[in-house]
């Protein structure tokens, strides 16, 4: 069974909502990313989006753009990010890993070798934000035969595409809470609740909401309507805040502890 499906089944049995952090891999470096992933698991994360840094992150707000720039200074590649998943597994992390990448690095890798590689390295899910359903047939077919869940995104503006996208989704449906780019928000798209119930009606696959979630209140607001919440910028911003601590071995434990404290506050 795919680890994502197993995680949602366990959470459903416990009546809990999945907490799904996103982090940019290689920010500040690959080894620290492994330690941050361990801290996220200790803090109660249920699965993790491993963000591949990209030079042209169209859908990203300033926080994640800065994180990508820091990682790209170390020339972090998609191969490095996949290797971080294996290293985290070897370090004892049990969480399902979702590789989050724009399409270009996958194309550069080559579709078939890419899927063979991520299966071998223990990736369970894949999110490619700039690959629309209209163009994803080949990727979807390769993902399904590799039992990797290609997780689609739906937005409040998706309208009649919601049913088409959600009805054959695997893993979970990523419901984008607001229009625009990623980043912490104080409010969400008007009618977000109606949007989420539309997606819920369109599929039996779990649904998770992301964009702008940064507090326990936000998590509680969506917990009743969704099976999971995704938190990226708020966590990446915390990593940015504690970077000076993470960059020195003597203060790194304190930096990791502050990340753990912030994320466990979200899980509640
Ligand atoms: O950062 P936020 O507002 O918490 O949203 C999650 C988001 O970071 C993560 O899922 C993500 C990072 N880059 C993206 C690009 C498109 C869609 C989603 C994403």
Q: pLDDT tens, 36-77? A: 999 999 999 999 999 999 999 889 999 999 999 999 999 999
Q: Is residue 161 part of a domain?
A: no
Are the beta carbons of 158 and 203 closer than 8 angstroms?
Answer: no
Residues 213-227: what's their mean pLDDT? 96
With a cut of 90, say whether residue 235 has pLDDT above it: yes
Expressed in angstroms and rounded, the spacing between residue 250 Cα and the centre of ligand 1 is 31
Q: Where are the alpha helices (DSSP H) in the chain?
A: 3-14, 30-42, 62-73, 78-90, 103-109, 111-120, 137-145, 161-167, 192-202, 216-223, 233-241, 243-246, 252-267
Residues 124-145: what's their mean pLDDT? 96
What does pTM read for this prediction?
0.97
- Give the number of the atom of ligand 1 that is nearest the alpha carbon of residue 185: 3
| pLDDT tier, 82 (very low <50, low <70, confident <90, very high otherwise) | very high
Q: What is the CATH number of the domain that holds 28?
A: 3.20.20.70
Q: Residue 31: which domain range?
A: 3-151+207-267
| pLDDT tier, 157 (very low <50, low <70, confident <90, very high otherwise) | confident
Q: Is residue 259 part of a domain?
A: yes
Q: Is residue 62 part of a domain?
A: yes
| pLDDT tier, 268 (very low <50, low <70, confident <90, very high otherwise) | confident
| pLDDT tier, 189 (very low <50, low <70, confident <90, very high otherwise) | confident
With a cut of 90, say whether residue 100 has pLDDT above it: yes
Q: Is residue 198 part of a domain?
A: no
Residues 128-155: what's their mean pLDDT? 96
Q: Across all residues in the chain, what is the average pLDDT?
A: 96
pLDDT of residue 187: 86
* Residue 230 DSSP label: E
With a cut of 90, say whether residue 248 has pLDDT above it: yes
With a 6 A CB cut-off, is 228 part of the ligand 1 pocket? Answer: no
pLDDT of residue 160: 86
Q: Number of folded domains in the chain?
A: 1
Alpha carbon separation from 142 to 52, 152, 176, 204, 235 (Å, rounded):
20, 15, 25, 22, 32
Residues 116-139: what's their mean pLDDT? 96
Q: Is residue 217 part of a domain?
A: yes
With a 6 A CB cut-off, is 20 part of the ligand 1 pocket? Answer: no
What are the residue numbers of the active site?
A: 49, 60
Q: Is residue 185 part of a domain?
A: no
With a 6 A CB cut-off, is 101 part of the ligand 1 pocket? Answer: no
Residue nearest to atom 13 of ligand 1 (CA): 60
Q: Is residue 118 part of a domain?
A: yes
Burial class of residue 133 in the structure, from the number of CB atoms within 10 Å of its CB (0-12 exposed, 13-18 middle, 19+ buried): middle
Residues 209-224: what's their mean pLDDT? 96
Peptide bond into 28 cis (omega under 30): yes
With a cut of 90, say whether residue 179 has pLDDT above it: no
With a 6 A CB cut-off, is 152 part of the ligand 1 pocket? Answer: no
Residues 236-240: what's their mean pLDDT? 98
Tokens 């492994």 belong to residue: 34
Please, which residues bridge with residue 150 across strands?
Answer: 126
- Percent of the chain scored above 70 by pLDDT? 100
């Amino acid at each position: 069974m795919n680890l994502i499906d197993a995680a949602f089944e366990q959470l459903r049995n416990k009546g809990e909502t999945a907490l799904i952090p996103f982090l940019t891999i290689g920010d500040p470096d690959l080894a620290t990313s492994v330690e941050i992933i361990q801290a996220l698991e200790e803090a109660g994360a249920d699965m993790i989006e491993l963000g591949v840094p990209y030079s042209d992150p169209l859908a990203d707000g300033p926080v994640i753009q800065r994180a990508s720039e820091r990682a790209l200074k170390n020339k972090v590649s998609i191969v490095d990010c996949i290797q971080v998943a294996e290293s985290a597994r070897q370090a004892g992390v049990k969480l399902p890993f979702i590789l989050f990448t724009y399409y270009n690095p996958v194309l550069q890798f080559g579709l078939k070798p890419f899927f063979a590689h991520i299966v071998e390295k223990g990736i369970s899910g894949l999110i490619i934000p700039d690959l629309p359903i209209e163009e994803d047939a080949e990727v979807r077919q390769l993902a399904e035969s590799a039992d990797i869940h290609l997780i689609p995104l739906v937005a409040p503006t998706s309208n009649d595409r919601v049913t088409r996208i959600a009805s054959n989704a695997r893993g979970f449906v990523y419901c984008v809470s607001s229009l625009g780019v990623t980043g912490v928000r104080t409010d969400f798209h008007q009618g977000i609740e109606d949007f989420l119930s539309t997606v819920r009606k369109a599929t039996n696959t779990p649904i998770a909401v992301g964009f702008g979630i940064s507090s326990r209140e936000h998590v509680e607001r969506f917990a009743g309507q969704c099976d999971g919440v995704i938190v990226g910028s708020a966590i990446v911003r915390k990593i940015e805040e504690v970077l000076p601590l993470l960059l020195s071995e003597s203060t790194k434990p304190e930096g990791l502890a502050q990340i753990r404290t912030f994320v466990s506050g979200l899980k509640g």
